């Protein structure tokens, strides 16, 4: 190789440039030259791929990550609602359900560097989570997977400390129920994505989602707590498998308390499902037994097929084909209408229903709302079961609550119409905008006079009949027991009872109906091993009245000396000259009893006429019993 110099002239100065003179390379030199060239090509290729990788990462962080976020936002199964749900409050503004912002953990599997290591760390942070399930999610082909929803602040802090690449948090709205299980079946719950799946949450899902004003319920959380406590105590005391109860305002239709047991805590999603999620108060359909005798008496008195002084012979059982209708503790004699209810006579009720007739019975039960689903604002509502075809034997058994099945809410709503003056008002869980003491318009189903007669009967059941354990001191409570065998596989099971008591108070001016029911209670020593409604459910109603009345502004009656006899009991004693058959809409004239007169218990009983018939004699004796009952109250 030689070097030459070439002079290049320009306007200013010459420059000298070296000229390389090349010679042909020998074999070794050519090989070295090729190796070097190949190495340069490889190095350039590697650098090109490196630059491409960096460029791809930049694109990934901008464009592709934006697509992942778009996928996250558009996939309803992988995101929480962007709008919070409105609060739910009780009638006094107490918070029952609200939404709180909480973090949820998700992963971008493509950004997770070591899925095995990440799964180990996450499984250690969440011991209740399956490592293999976590690993499967972290190795998924998609760009987004939920790992854990609704974390606590401590859990979020612990995950942050792990520093796992490809794992991040998303803020969601978690539904929270401050009172836990207290009103579980009323409120219902939401799923993990904040959508209502039961109860009020489901029924009003669309209006709650994104709502700004709280939804005010008719529930009073104070009364709800009392009813929950009393039913829980009775359920445990009598080893029942379930219980239900409710309290309803007869003037407005508002449900101020409603409980179904067993229940659940909606804050704990793992507790949902099974028997605890079943609402016995509105979904459970049961034969509720002798409570239906109140409807039977009401329709018979209202239709005029029997009057207050009338009655039926309950001496012998009724035999129809292969069926026999008997009384639990029969008196084996003619019974007046009040006695049929006081002594809960199946025979008397069945004969009363036959006089009303099938069509009349169907019409009245339909008017009381007992043949159609309730209109209450819950998705969990049961459909009543009634016979088809509806024959005379069905009319007889339905008269005392067998052969027809309804929910506890149906019964309470129907009884409300019986005691409030005869006006049917649908049950509601929404607070009604009314002035204090104002009534909601409704549909008349019986006359006011018939309603007063039913109140008389209910009060006598508590003072003289099977409901004595519901007699709350200082309050005029009236009610009716109900006991029925449960059906299993189309057959009745003995000693598997549905025991209930339905009541209203105060009976001189009814404001509230209370219903309590126990599912398969067991008798104990203090109840002489009885598990009927009068023994196990009536005490729940008594406790409820005694504890709730003061909260509702209902003062106890404090009487000096002889108790003031309420008007409804005076009306229970009718004149001996009253007609034997009243017109369908007549108002019976009660015998007015002066408080200044001699107590009736001290009056000599009138001497019967020589030609007095057995029926007249029993009627006279019945009146004497009622007179004495009034005098001793």
CA–centroid distance for 402 within its chain: 25
Which tokens belong to 437?
């003491």
Which tokens belong to 544?
């409820």
Q: Nearest 5°: CA angle at 101, between 99 and 107?
A: 125
CA–centroid distance for 180 within its chain: 14
Instruction: Determine contact, residues 456/569, Cβ cutoff 8 Å.
Output: yes
Q: How buried is residue 66: exposed, middle or buried, by Cβ count under 10 Å (0-12/13-18/19+)?
A: exposed
Q: How many CB atoms lie within 10 A of CB 398?
A: 26
* HSE, side-chain direction, 13 A CA sphere, residue 229: 10
**Cα separation of 526 and 630, whole Å?**
29
Task: Judge whether 290 counts as a catalytic residue.
Answer: yes
Torsion of CA 404, 410, 411, 417, to 10 degrees: -120
Nearest CA-CA partner of 260 in 282, 238, 288: 282
Tell me the H-state helices in 378-494: 392-399, 408-419, 448-464
**Cα separation of 187 and 204, whole Å?**
10
Which position among 290, 344, 416, 499 bears the catalytic label?
290
Torsion angles phi and psi, residue 555, rounded to 5: -80, 145
In this structure, the strands spanning 334-336 and 311-313 are antiparallel
Q: Which own/partner contact pairs does 611-620 have at CB distance under 8 Å and 24+ positions apart?
A: 614/334, 615/311, 615/334, 618/311, 618/333, 618/334, 618/335, 618/336, 619/309, 619/311, 619/334, 619/336, 620/576
Nearest CA-CA partner of 629 in 505, 456, 498: 456
CA–centroid distance for 414 within its chain: 18
Number of H helices, E strands in the chain: 20, 20
Nearest CA-CA partner of 241 in 258, 262, 226, 265: 262
Residues 6 or more apart whose CB falls under 8 angstroms from that of 182 comprise 221, 224, 225, 228
Instruction: Determine contact, residues 244/259, Cβ cutoff 8 Å.
Output: yes
In this structure, the strands spanning 323-325 and 334-336 are unpaired
**Cα separation of 230 and 248, whole Å?**
17
Instruction: Determine contact, residues 256/225, Cβ cutoff 8 Å.
Output: no
Torsion of CA 61, 64, 69, 70, to 10 degrees: 150
Cis omega (within 30 of 0) on the bond before 389?
Answer: yes
Nearest CA-CA partner of 483 in 165, 238, 162, 154: 238
Q: Strand, helix or coil at 506? A: coil
Q: Strand, helix or coil at 99? A: strand
| Residues involved in catalysis | 290
């Amino acid at each position: 190789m030689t070097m030459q110099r070439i002079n290049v002239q320009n306007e200013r100065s010459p420059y000298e440039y070296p000229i390389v003179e090349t010679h042909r390379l020998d074999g070794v030199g050519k090989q070295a030259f090729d190796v070097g060239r190949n190495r340069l090509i490889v190095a350039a290729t590697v650098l090109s791929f490196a630059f491409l990788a960096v460029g791809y990462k930049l694109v990934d962080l901008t464009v592709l990550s934006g697509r992942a976020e778009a996928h996250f936002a558009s996939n309803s199964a992988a995101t929480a609602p962007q709008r919070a749900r409105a609060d739910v409050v009780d009638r006094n503004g107490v918070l029952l359900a609200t939404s709180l912002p909480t973090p949820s953990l998700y992963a971008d599997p493509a950004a997770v560097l070591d899925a095995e290591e990440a799964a180990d760390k996450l499984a250690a942070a969440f011991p209740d989570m399956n490592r293999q399930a976590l690993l499967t999610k972290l190795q998924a082909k998609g760009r987004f997977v939920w790992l854990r929803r609704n974390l606590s602040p401590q859990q979020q802090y612990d995950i942050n400390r792990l520093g796992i690449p490809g794992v991040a948090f998303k803020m969601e709205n978690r539904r929270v129920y401050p009172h836990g299980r207290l009103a579980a079946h009323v409120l219902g719950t939401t799923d993990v994505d904040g959508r209502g799946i039961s109860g009020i949450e489901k029924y009003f899902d669309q209006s709650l989602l994104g709502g700004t004003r709280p939804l005010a319920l008719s529930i009073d959380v104070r009364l709800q707590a009392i009813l929950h406590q009393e039913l829980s105590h009775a359920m445990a005391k009598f080893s029942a498998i379930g219980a239900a109860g409710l309290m309803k305002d007869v003037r407005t239709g508002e449900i101020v308390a409603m409980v179904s047991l067993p229940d659940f805590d909606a804050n704990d999603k793992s507790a949902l499902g099974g028997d605890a999620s079943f609402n016995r108060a509105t979904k459970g359909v049961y034969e509720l037994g002798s409570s239906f005798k109140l409807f039977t008496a009401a329709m018979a008195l209202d239709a005029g097929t029997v009057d207050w002084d009338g009655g039926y012979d309950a001496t012998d059982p009724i035999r129809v084909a292969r069926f026999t209708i008997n009384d639990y503790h029969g008196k084996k004699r003619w019974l007046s209408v009040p006695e049929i209810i006081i002594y809960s006579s199946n025979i008397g009720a069945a004969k009363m229903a036959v006089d009303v007739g099938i069509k009349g019975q169907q019409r009245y039960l339909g008017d009381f709302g007992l043949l159609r689903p309730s209109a209450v604002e819950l998705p969990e509502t049961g459909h009543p079961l009634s016979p088809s075809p509806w024959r005379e034997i069905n009319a007889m058994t339905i008269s005392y609550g067998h052969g027809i099945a309804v929910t506890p809410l149906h019964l309470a709503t129907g009884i409300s119409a019986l005691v409030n003056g005869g006006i049917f008002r649908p049950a509601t869980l929404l607070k009604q905008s009314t002035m204090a003491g104002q009534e909601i318009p409704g549909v008349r189903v019986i006359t006011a006079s018939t309603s007063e007669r039913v109140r008389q009967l209910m009060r006598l059941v508590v003072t003289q009949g099977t409901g004595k354990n519901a007699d709350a001191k200082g309050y005029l409570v009236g009610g009716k027991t109900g006991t029925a065998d449960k059906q299993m596989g189309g057959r009745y099971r003995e000693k598997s009872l549905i025991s209930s008591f339905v009541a209203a108070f105060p009976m001189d001016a009814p404001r509230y109906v209370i219903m309590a029911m126990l599912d398969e209670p067991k008798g104990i020593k203090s109840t002489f091993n009885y598990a009927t409604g009068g023994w196990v459910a009536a005490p729940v109603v008594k406790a409820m009245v005694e504890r709730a009345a003061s909260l509702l502004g209902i003062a106890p009656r404090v009487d000096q000396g002889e108790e003031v006899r309420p008007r409804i009991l005076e009306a229970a004693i009718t004149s001996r000259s009253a007609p034997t058959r009243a017109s369908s809409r007549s108002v019976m004239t009660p015998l007015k009893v002066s408080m200044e007169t001699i107590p009736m218990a001290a009056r000599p009983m009138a001497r019967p006429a020589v030609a007095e018939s057995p029926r007249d004699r029993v009627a006279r004796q019945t009146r004497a019993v009622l007179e004495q009952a009034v005098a001793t109250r």
